[in-house]
Amino acid sequence: MTTDNTLNATSPAQERLPEIVRLLRELHPDAKCALDFENPLQLLVATILSAQCTDERVNKVTPVLFARFPTAQDLAEADREELEQIIHSTGFYRNKAKNVQEACRRIVSEYGGEVPSNMADLLSLTGVARKTANVVLGNCYGIADGIVVDTHVKRLSERLGLTAQTDPEKIERDLMALSPQPDWIDLSHLLIFHGRRVCDARKPRCAGCPISYLCPSAVLVL
């Protein structure tokens, strides 16, 4: 893996980020959405369920859920207790069941049973904030309207010195300003995969990290 010797951890963020993205693409060529889905509705629901829960756990629940309730209409009309029982292991199941049903009711009543493909309409759905909307737009519709900021993206953006913010929406704005729009979808996938595989929350493996020379935080732990 070749590196750009003209850059280092003190270089401006807008100069470092393109190289960070290039190196992460080499390191994680399989970076993609880790939630299993076959259509926009499935990804929308899976993303709502993934709050405070691992993608692996959600992927164990959703096949049962969508076999029982395959459409927005089915979910909207589902027995709440049965829905809660199916998604129980994802945590916060009562609130998640409520959000899923209310979102699906609006999808049925306002959008003909189809998940909308624009930010404003997605944000009108119960339980959907920018993170969930960006996940659906990017992975289902190929629309880069923003950048997904989850716990990994937040942590790595701070460690890499790409933002001084702590609020996800402000972090998103900083990342959008630093990177070209065609990279927005990939950027979140790459940071998430790197966060899971290398830049661990408690024990980042800086010694073997190919972007450590571009990371202000790595200098402190190497």
Mean pLDDT, residues 162-180: 98
| pTM of the predicted model as reported, rounded to 2 decimal places | 0.94
Active site residue 150: yes
CA dihedral 202, 219, 193, 168 (to 10 degrees): 80
Average pLDDT of the chain is 96
Active site residue 131: yes
How far CA 192 is from CA of 63, 72, 133, 154, in Å, comes to 23, 29, 17, 9
Given the residues 150, 174, 183, 186, the one annotated as active site:
150
Mean pLDDT, residues 77-95: 98
What pLDDT score does 206 carry? 95
Alpha-carbon gap, residue 163 to 178, rounded angstroms: 10
**48-60 pLDDT tens trace:** 999 999 999 999 9
Nearest to 36, CA basis, from 57, 17, 16, 52: 57
pLDDT at 110 over 80: yes
| Domain map (residue ranges) of the chain | 13-30+146-221, 40-140
**142-163 pLDDT tens trace:** 999 999 999 999 999 999 999 9
Mean pLDDT, residues 82-111: 98
pLDDT at 221 over 70: no
What pLDDT score does 220 carry? 65
**8-56 pLDDT tens trace:** 999 999 999 999 999 999 999 999 999 999 999 999 999 999 999 999 9
Given the residues 96, 131, 145, 154, the one annotated as active site:
131
Decide which of 3.30.465.10, 3.40.190.10, 1.10.340.30, 1.10.3720.10 is the CATH code for 40-140: 1.10.340.30
What pLDDT score does 41 carry? 98
Alpha-carbon gap, residue 28 to 137, rounded angstroms: 22
Fold of 13-30+146-221: Endonuclease Iii, domain 2 (1.10.1670)
